[in-house]
Amino acid sequence: MPVDIEDYTSLVGKRFIPGDQTPQSPDLPKEKVILEQDLPLNYRVLAPNSFTTLEFIPDRLNLQVDKDNIVKSVNLG
């Protein structure tokens, strides 16, 4: 199923929570986090200074996060 980037632009500014982790801060509202299980099957998280491959996969969601796992941008590829 094709990924529509418009479905994921609202992730910018939210904290990415990997795996089966839960938010550690009780004052962090649910609408301010994105859980890994809520992402499409084909995605990758790009942390600062991380190595990435350059192949273009049109339906892969890329999440660029900062050192605190806050999503800074999303794109496909």
**Would you state the structure tokens that stand for residue 33, as one six-digit string?**
């986090």
Q: How crowded is the C-beta side of 18, counted as CA atoms within 13 Å?
A: 10
CATH 3.30.10 fits 5-76, yes or no: yes
Range 49-63 average pLDDT:
93
Q: pTM, whole model, 2 decimals?
A: 0.85
Residue 1, pLDDT above cutoff 70: no
Q: Among residues 2, 69, 66, which one has the least CA distance to residue 40?
A: 2
Partners of 70 in the β-ladder: 15
pLDDT value for 5? 86
The pLDDT tens digits of the residues spanning 18-44 come to 887 766 666 777 889 999 988 999 999
Place of tokens 């605190």: 68
Burial class (CB in 10 A: 0-12, 13-18, 19+), 30: exposed
